[in-house]
């Protein structure tokens, strides 16, 4: 099937994970994404975190966020490098960057300069804390700008904890923010298609964190609350919402917000039909009034059976629930398999690597992923497509403009 962004050309001058993750999504959606790297490469290439068979080192961070791109090495500090970039931008639809404003200005790739030369291009940037304000030129990463400054860590940290809770994995805030930037770019493409007007768009790590935390932020802004408490053993108002430990030390997560709608079915499949008519538990109001007893009974009930037993029982009623899974279990999840959420990608050397699919399903199918490029793998072919002959390419390499 055709991909939704086929025919769109993106030139990416970015490093690490946030904005490159956006470029990877655009690539999976069908865009041609040309990644401009300095001769030393994107520093993310040095963060190898996985090893797969045969002694080959596979940098899964690099593969995840740079899927399907073309790599061209250019020293944008040299005039010749900026000249090549300008030729690449002649027919580009999107310029994508996360360099800080002073670096963009010094290299002549700030929004005013790029849009002045190429007025139809969409200029898209990712920033730590937004394009305006006293910290707009301050560096940032997801662990600080998203997780710490954005209120996520504080909201997850229990009272009196020794340290604030850290991110659950590499680039957690980066990938969420990259997805938001991808959405903004698609909106800008739609606007340009309908009106002919290009846009300058920015998405920040801080802004994305606040979007994710918006309910708490709105509440605290309204009533002046500094922090919503997170006690170590919160008592539920609705016992059908929460996490329960099973007999084999696993957890089941319930989210039956319409408690009275699901209480009878839950009690019947759980072997507790007497709770349906028990005056202490007969409805949500009664259960709330007797929450200590009810919560203790439900906890004891879940502790009496294994996770496998609960999956079977809960599957027989209509209330909403899911097991609390480890990341290593996800590849075996029946829904993950059915929807091809984890894809097997040809690495090009006789081996394969697993990559998580972009979470967009078009016409019933997810977008197929591809591996990322080696450093400078496409420099020669891209330069040749711009009109550089072999002698000119060699000259750029001798000058250190191209790797």
Residue numbers annotated as active site: 174
HSE-CB of 335 using CA atoms within 13 angstroms = 4
- Burial (CB count <10 Å: 0-12, 13-18, 19+), residue 300: exposed
Query: Helix (H, G, I), strand (E, B), or coil: what is residue 73?
Result: strand
Taking each helix axis from N to C end, the angle separating 205-212 and 172-195, rounded to the nearest 10 degrees, works out to: 100
Contact residues for 219 (Cβ-Cβ < 8 A; gap 6+) = 225, 228
Tokens of 173: 């805030």
Question: CA torsion, points 42, 48, 53, 55, in degrees to nearest 10?
Answer: 90
Q: 């430990």: which residue's tokens?
A: 245
| Beta pairing partners, 365 | 362
Tokens of 243: 């996490």
Tokens of 82: 């900026």
Tokens of 217: 């932020």
| The 321-323 sheet, strands edge to edge | 241-245, 251-255, 321-323
130 within 8 A of 204, measured Cβ to Cβ: yes
- Of residues 349, 344, 319, 323, the one with CA closest to residue 334: 323
CA-to-CA distance for 115 and 97, rounded, in angstroms?
Answer: 14
CA-to-CA distance for 138 and 124, rounded, in angstroms?
Answer: 18
153 within 8 A of 164, measured Cβ to Cβ: yes
CA-to-CA distance for 119 and 134, rounded, in angstroms?
Answer: 28
């Amino acid at each position: 099937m055709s991909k939704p962004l086929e025919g769109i050309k993106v030139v990416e001058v970015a490093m690490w994970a946030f904005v490159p993750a956006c470029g990877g999504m655009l690539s999976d959606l069908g865009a041609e994404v040309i990644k401009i790297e300095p001769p030393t490469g994107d520093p993310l290439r040095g963060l190898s975190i996985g090893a797969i068979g045969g002694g080959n080192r596979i940098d899964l961070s690099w593969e995840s966020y740079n899927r399907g791109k073309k790599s061209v090495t250019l020293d944008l500090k040299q005039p010749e490098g900026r000249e090549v970039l300008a030729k690449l931008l002649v027919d580009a639809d999107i310029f994508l960057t996360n360099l800080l404003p002073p670096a963009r200005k010094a290299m002549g790739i700030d929004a005013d300069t790029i849009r002045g030369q190429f007025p139809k291009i969409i200029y898209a940037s990712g920033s730590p804390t937004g394009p305006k304000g006293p910290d707009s030129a301050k560096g940032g990463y997801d662990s600080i700008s998203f997780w710490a400054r954005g209120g996520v860590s504080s909201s997850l940290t229990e009272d009196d904890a020794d340290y604030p809770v850290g991110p659950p994995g590499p680039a957690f805030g980066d990938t969420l923010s990259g997805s938001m930037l991808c959405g903004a770019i698609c909106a800008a493409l739609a606007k340009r298609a309908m009106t002919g007007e290009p846009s300058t768009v920015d998405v920040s790590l801080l802004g994305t964190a606040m979007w994710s935390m918006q309910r708490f932020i709105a509440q605290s802004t309204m009533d002046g609350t500094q922090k919503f408490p997170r006690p170590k053993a919160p008592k539920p108002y609705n016992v059908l919402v929460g996490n329960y430990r099973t007999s084999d030390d696993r957890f089941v997560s319930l989210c039956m917000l319409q408690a009275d709608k699901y209480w009878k079915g839950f009690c019947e499949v759980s072997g507790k039909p007497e709770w349906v008519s028990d005056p202490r538990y007969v409805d949500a109001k009664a259960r709330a009034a007797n929450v200590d007893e009810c919560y203790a009974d439900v906890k004891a009930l879940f502790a009496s059976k294994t996770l496998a037993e609960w999956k079977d029982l809960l599957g027989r009623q209509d209330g909403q629930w899911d097991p609390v899974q480890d990341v290593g279990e996800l590849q075996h999840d029946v829904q993950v398999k059915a929807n091809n959420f984890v894809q097997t990608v040809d690495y090009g050397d006789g081996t394969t690597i697993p990559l998580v699919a972009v979470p967009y399903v078009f016409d019933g199918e997810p977008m197929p992923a591809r591996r990322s490029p080696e450093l400078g793998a496409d420099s020669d072919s891209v330069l040749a497509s711009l009109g550089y002959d072999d002698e000119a390419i060699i000259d750029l390499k001798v000058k250190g403009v191209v790797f």
